[in-house]
Amino acid sequence: MRPVRRSVVISTTKPITPPPTAKCRSAAPPCHPRPASRGARSRRADFSWIAHFQGPHGFTADVSALSWLVVLVIILAFILVSCVTLIGAADKAINEGITMASTETSKSQHAKDERNAPREVTPGKAFTVGKHKTLAGWKVEQDTRLGDAMFSVTGKVKNISNDTSTAFIHFKFIDESGEVLGNVQCNSADLEPGQTQALNCIPDGKYRRYKRVTAEATF
């Protein structure tokens, strides 16, 4: 009997492996995930900025810093609005103060003008113009020292202010038609508060019948 020869065939080709699958369904054979396409990689890259805000436990220090920044902006905005409000209120108060001061000045000037304004007076009766009071007993006189009789006034004045002051009083004599017949200017020397002195008057206008007399402070 002849011996049987067995031949051994050694294959040099690589074993055939199954094609890669999208998911691994079993532990064996080994799973070979399909490589991601370029488009998928690009889509994942679009959200890569999220990693900047994430740590091992989600959002961490960077988000806290962003929150503090928002709070700081809100605080600064509140301070700015408060400053604008305060400036507006201060400006309004200043304007009101200026208006009030102007009003007070106007009232004071009006009162002064009223004290100095012409007013009808009656011979013999006391009256006040400006800072001086013409005492009761003053008279309208006929001054004949220069020939024809002229309007003149005699009487005394008293300084009723708190300052040294000189009286300047203008008397005007007017007839029934409104014509001014004479203008008599009177004055005193400097008078301390409460002092009295006789008027020094300059005659004017031919004396004749008149209807009324007005007096005003001219200084």
pLDDT digits (tens, 9 = 90+) for 31-74: 555 555 555 454 554 545 444 445 554 545 555 667 777 888 88
- Give me the pLDDT at residue 50, please: 47
pLDDT at 105 over 80: no
- Report the pLDDT value the prediction gives residue 186, as an integer from 0 to 100: 97
Distance CA 192, CA 36 (A): 112
CA distances from 9 to 3, 6, 12, 17, 138 (A): 19, 10, 10, 21, 163
- Residue, of 104 and 96, whose pLDDT is higher: 96
Mean pLDDT of 90-117: 63
pLDDT above 90: residue 140? yes
Burial of 207 (0-12, 13-18, 19+ CB in 10 A): buried
* Selection from 214, 186, 204 nearest residue 149 by Cα: 204
Average the pLDDT over 101-123 and give the result. 68
User: Which is more confidently placed, 26 or 162?
Assistant: 162
Tell me, what's the pLDDT at 93? 73
Cβ atoms of residues 214 and 120 within 8 Å: yes
DSSP letter for each residue of 188-201: EEEE-TT-EEE-EE
Q: Tell me what pLDDT residue 85 has.
A: 81
Q: Among residues 103, 158, 106, 107, which one has the least CA distance to residue 129?
A: 158
β-pairing verdict for 132-134 and 127-129: antiparallel
For residue 87, pLDDT over 60 is answered with: yes
Mean pLDDT on 128-151: 94
Spatial separation of the C-alpha atoms in residues 105 and 103, rounded to whole Å? 5
Q: What is the pLDDT of residue 180?
A: 96
Where in the chain are the domains? Answer: 57-116, 119-217
- pLDDT given at position 210: 96
Nearest partner of 174 among 208, 126, 127, judged by Cα: 208
Nearby residues of 118 by Cβ (< 8 Å), 6 or more positions away: 172, 214, 215, 216
72 residue type, one letter? L
Residue 94 has pLDDT above 90, yes or no: no
- Residue 88's pLDDT is 77
Question: pLDDT exceeding 70 applies to what percent of the chain?
Answer: 62
Mean pLDDT of the chain, nearest integer: 76
- Region 157-184: mean pLDDT is 95
Q: Flag whether pLDDT at 142 surpasses 90.
A: yes
Residues 6+ away with beta carbon under 8 Å from 33: 20, 22, 24
At 3, is the pLDDT very low, low, confident or very high (cuts 50, 70, 90)? Answer: low
Fold (topology level) of 119-217: Immunoglobulin-like (2.60.40)
